[in-house]
């Protein structure tokens, strides 16, 4: 019983990429990375900027009298940024 095994088929090597395709792939990757970097920096700056606030004096003023007379004002700080909450 001599069974001949089929001969292994040699694998074909992939053809090397052409120079123009390789150049295009490098530029598309680089441009995509630069766009992502610009968007990341813009998003970081937008999220970390100081919020617009407005200082308001209280409606009620306190006047204290002891050995000295002094006026106590406690300001209120209000954010004036529009929010998405409804």
- Overall domain count for the chain: 1
80-86 contacts: CB < 8 A, separation 24 or more?
Answer: 80/52, 80/53, 80/54, 81/51, 81/52
Is residue 12 situated within a structural domain?
Answer: no
Is residue 31 situated within a structural domain?
Answer: no
How far is it, in rounded angstroms, from Cα 45 to Cα 39?
10
Is residue 66 situated within a structural domain?
Answer: yes
Is residue 14 situated within a structural domain?
Answer: no
Instruction: Give me the domain span that covers residue 68.
Output: 53-80
The total number of residues written for the chain in this structure: 86
pLDDT per residue, tens digit, the chain (86 aa), is 556 777 777 787 777 666 778 888 889 999 999 999 999 999 999 888 887 888 887 777 777 777 887 777 777 888 777 776 65
Q: Are 81 and 52 in contact (CB under 8 A)?
A: yes
């Amino acid at each position: 019983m001599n069974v001949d095994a089929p001969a292994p088929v040699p694998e074909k090597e992939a053809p090397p990429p052409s120079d123009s395709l390789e150049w295009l792939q490098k530029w598309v990757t680089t441009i995509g990375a630069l766009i992502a970097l610009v968007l990341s920096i813009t998003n970081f700056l937008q999220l970390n900027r100081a919020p617009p606030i407005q200082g308001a004096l209280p409606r009620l003023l306190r006047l204290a009298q002891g050995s000295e007379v002094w006026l106590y004002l406690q300001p209120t700080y209000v954010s004036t940024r529009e929010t998405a909450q409804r």
